[in-house]
Amino acid sequence: MPRLLALVVVAGTVGVNPPLAKSAEPLHVRIDAIIDAKAKAENAAVAAPADDAEFLRRAYLDFAGTIPPVSVTRAFLSDTSASKREKLIESLLNSPTYATHMADLFNVALMERLGDSPEWSKYLRESFAKNKPYDQMVREMLRANSKDTNNVGASFWISKRLENYGQNPVDYSALTRDVGRLFLGKNFQCCECHDHLFIDDYKQQHFQGLHTFFKNTFLSKGVVAEKLTTEKHPFASVFTKIQMTTGPSLPGMMMIDIPMFAKGMEFVTPPDRKTNEPGVPKFSTLQAISEQLPTAKNTDFTRNAVNRIWFAVMGRGLVHPLDLHHSRNPASHPELLTLLADEFASHKFDIKWLLGELALTKTYQRSSVVVAGKDTPDARLFAVALEKRLSADQLLNAMLTATENDAKVADTLRPKFVKAFANQAREPEDEIAPSLKGALFVLHDAAVLELVNSKPGNLVERVAKLDDAAATDELYLAVLSRKPTETERAAVAKLLAKHTDKRAEAVGRVAWALLASMEFGVNH
Amino acid sequence: MLCTPIEHSLSRRRFLGAAGGSALSLGGLVTPAIAEKLRKERRQVLFVWLDGGMSQLESWDPKPNTPFGGPFRPIQTTVPGIQISELLPQSAKLMKHLAIVRSVSTQDNSHSAGVDRINRGDPKNRGVVYPYFGSAVSKLVGSNDSGLPSYIWVKPMNGGFIYKDAGFLGPKYGALALGDGKPPENLLRPKEITTEDDDERNELRKLLDTKYAEQRRKEFTEANTHAFEMAAQLQKKIELFDLSKLPQKDQDRYGSHDLGRHMLLARRLLEEGVTFVKVTSYGWDTHGDHFNGAASLHPKFDRPFAAIIEDLRDRGMLDNVLVIACAEFGRTPRINGHIGRDHWPEAWSVCMAGRGIKGGVVAGKTNDKGTEVATDPVDIGGLFHTWYKALGIDPKETEFRNGGQPLPIAHEEMKPVKEVLA
Q: Supply the DSSP string of A258-323, one letter for each residue.
A: -----TT-SEEE--BTTTTBPPEESS-HHHHHHHHSSSTT-HHHHHHHHHHHHHHHHSS-SSSSTT
Instruction: Residue A476: list chain B partners with CB under 8 A.
Output: none
Can you give the pLDDT at residue A2? 44
* Domain presence at residue A117: no
From chain B, the residues in CB contact with A440 under 8 A are 184-187, 231
Give the pLDDT score at A20: 53
Span A438-492, pLDDT tens digits:
999 999 999 999 999 999 999 999 999 999 999 999 999 999 999 999 999 999 9
* B409 half-sphere exposure, CB direction, 13 A CA radius: 29
CATH number at residue B355: 3.40.720
Looking at A274, A292, A310, which one is the last position of a domain?
Answer: A292
Domain count of the fold of chain B: 1
- Verify cis geometry, omega within 30 degrees of 0, for the bond prior to B395: no
Nearest C-alpha in B relative to A320: B9
Residues from chain A that touch B194, judged by Cβ atoms under 8 A, are none
Tell me what percent of the residues of chain A surpass a pLDDT of 70: 95
Q: Within B57-168, where are the H helices?
A: 89-93, 111-120, 133-141
User: Does residue A404 register a pLDDT over 50?
Assistant: yes
Nearest CA in chain B to A373: B215
Compute the average pLDDT of residues B35-63. 86
Task: Assess contact for B375 and B365: CB atoms under 8 A.
Answer: yes
The answer to whether residue B204 sits within a structural domain is: no
Question: Of A342-351, A446-455, B30-39, where does mean pLDDT reach its minimum?
Answer: B30-39
The pLDDT tens digits of the residues spanning A46-78 come to 999 999 999 999 999 999 999 999 999 999 999
State how many domains chain A has.
2
Measure B219 CA to nearest chain A CA, in Å: 9
pLDDT value of position B66? 95
State which residue of chain B sits closest to A186, comparing Cα positions: B6
Residues of A in contact with B407 (CB under 8 A): none
Contacts of B217 in chain A (CB under 8 A): 368, 370, 376, 379, 384, 386-387
Task: Point out the residue among B1, B188, B234 whose CB comes nearest to the CB of A189.
Answer: B1
Give the domain extent around A501. Answer: 392-523
CB contact under 8 A, A518 and B231: no
Chain A closest-CA separation from residue B227 CA (Å): 5
Residue B76: inside a domain, yes or no? Answer: yes
Rounded Cα distance, B219 and B225, in Å: 10
Instruction: Compute the 3-state secondary structure of chain A and give helix, strand, coil in percent, each to the nearest 5.
Output: 55, 5, 40
Residues in B touching A170 (Cβ below 8 Å): none
Structure confidence at residue A239 (pLDDT): 83
Tell me if B178 is assigned to some domain: yes
Tell if the CB–CB gap between B197 and A192 is shorter than 8 Å.
no
What digits encode the pLDDT tens for the residues B164-181? Answer: 888 888 777 888 899 899
- Give how far B297 is from chain A: nearest CA, Å: 26
Residue B157 falls inside a structural domain: yes
A 437-476: CB under 8 A from B: 437-441, 443-446, 449
Residue A46 lies in a domain: no
Indicate the pTM of the whole model: 0.80
Q: Is residue A469 part of a domain?
A: yes
The predicted pLDDT at position B96 comes to 97
Residue A175 has pLDDT above 70, yes or no: yes
B322 within domain boundaries: yes
> Is A190 touching B (CB cutoff 8 A)?
yes
Residue finishing a domain among A292, A321, A338: A292
Range of the domain at B138: 6-185+237-420
Residue A458's SS3 state is coil
Q: Let me know if residue A139 belongs to a domain.
A: no
The residue that leads in pLDDT, B148 or B349, is: B349
Q: Are B98 and B59 in contact (CB under 8 A)?
A: no
- What's the pLDDT at A22? 56
Whether residue B213 lies inside any domain: the answer is: no
Residue A198 in any domain: the answer is: yes
CB contact under 8 A, A436 and B221: no
| ipTM attached to this prediction | 0.91
Instruction: Give a yes or no: residue B330 inside a domain.
Output: yes
Contact: B223, A488; criterion CB under 8 Å: no
Residue ending a domain, among A292, A310, A341, is A292
For residue A265, being part of any structural domain is answered with: yes
pLDDT tens digits, one per residue of A94-136: 999 999 999 999 999 999 999 999 999 999 999 999 999 999 9
Does residue A240 sit within a domain? Answer: yes
Name chain A contacts of B190, Cβ cutoff 8 Å: 444, 446, 449
Is the domain of A407 the same as that of A288? Answer: no
pLDDT tens string A487-519: 999 999 999 999 999 999 999 999 999 999 999
Q: Is A517–B197 a contact, with Cβ atoms under 8 angstroms apart?
A: no
In a domain, B190, yes or no: no
pLDDT, tens digit, for every residue of B102-134? 999 999 888 878 898 999 998 877 778 899 999
CB–CB of B204 and A189 under 8 A? Answer: no
Do A284 and A396 sit in the same domain of this protein? no
Question: Is the separation of the CB atoms in A438 and A515 below 8 Å?
Answer: no
**A288 in any annotated domain:** yes
